[in-house]
Amino acid sequence: MTSHEKYRTFLHQSGKKIGDKGWQLDIPIGIGGMGEVWKAHNLKGEEGAIKFVHEELLMDQFAKKKFFDEVDSLTRLKHPNIV
């Protein structure tokens, strides 16, 4: 079974509150081998995306590095059409 076959069902649900900053999940954007991505909003009305990494990858050093490299790259992007 490939990772894409294994992860066909989203583990989270619309409306779920995430963290202590007032974020709430809206709709799923995508799912794949690393995890799932959701469109979300917060109490201030700001929109964003939240990525959940699959549990078994949390201890994988390569997967962790890949995730944090992605975060680093995204924080450097500046454009009005990027949330």
CA-based max dimension of the chain: 42
What residues does each domain of the chain span?
3-76
CA 1 to chain centre: 23
Return the percent helix, strand and coil in the chain, to nearest 5: 30, 30, 40
Asked whether 47 and 32 are in contact (CB, 8 A), the reply is no
Positive or negative CA dihedral for 61, 62, 68, 69?
A: positive
pLDDT above 80 (res 82) = no
CATH classification of 3-76 is 3.30.200.20, yes or no? yes
- For residue range 11-68, what is the model confidence (pLDDT) as tens digits? 889 999 998 889 999 999 998 888 899 999 999 999 988 999 888 888 889 988 988 9
